[in-house]
């Protein structure tokens, strides 16, 4: 197998609904995202001959995703009252609403799926909340 790895980071806040501990309160992280691509065979033609994919394309795709979340408040859909969301938006807060609980595990899957939708042969995505703690997602083979 051949593979590539790249990473990017973003700063964002979140909280965990129905959680009993510190993370039930609004807090932020410098999230670090590490993505891995994997193929059995390298490309055989064109400018990407003997490559998994062009590193520039891979880095740009991951950067575009992290930029969507950078300096946003990541909010689980339905976790805040509609008038709270309206007030936050009226005050100029940048919200990124997701249809899942805002855990590192779910964010790893979100990044995985988004990279796969862009046609990249993604094998695994790791999402670090702290330098020492990460969650990862990969599909079973």
Q: Please give the positions annotated as active site.
A: 23, 71, 129
Residue 126: strand pairing partners: 34, 136
| Distance separating alpha carbons of residues 38 and 6, to the nearest angstrom | 12
Cα–Cα dist 100/107, whole Å: 9
Helices (H), the chain: 55-69, 82-90, 104-117
Distance CA(69)–CA(28), nearest Å, equals: 12
- Residue 44 is given by DSSP the state -
3 state SS of 12: strand
Q: What number of other Cβ atoms are within 10 A of residue 68's Cβ?
A: 12
């Amino acid at each position: 197998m051949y593979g590539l790895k790249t990473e990017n980071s973003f700063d964002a806040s979140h909280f965990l609904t129905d959680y009993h501990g510190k993370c039930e309160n609004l807090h932020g992280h410098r999230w670090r995202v590490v993505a891995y691509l994997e193929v059995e065979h390298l490309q055989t033609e064109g400018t990407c001959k003997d490559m998994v994919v062009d590193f520039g394309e891979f880095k740009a795709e991951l950067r575009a995703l992290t930029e969507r979340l950078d300096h946003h408040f990541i909010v689980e859909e339905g976790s805040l009252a509609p008038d709270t969301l309206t007030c936050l938006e009226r005050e100029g807060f940048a919200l990124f609403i997701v249809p899942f609980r805002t855990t590192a595990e779910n964010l790893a899957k979100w990044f995985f799926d988004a990279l796969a939708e862009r046609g990249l042969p993604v094998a695994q995505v790791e999402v670090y909340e702290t330098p020492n703690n990460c969650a990862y997602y990969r599909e079973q083979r």
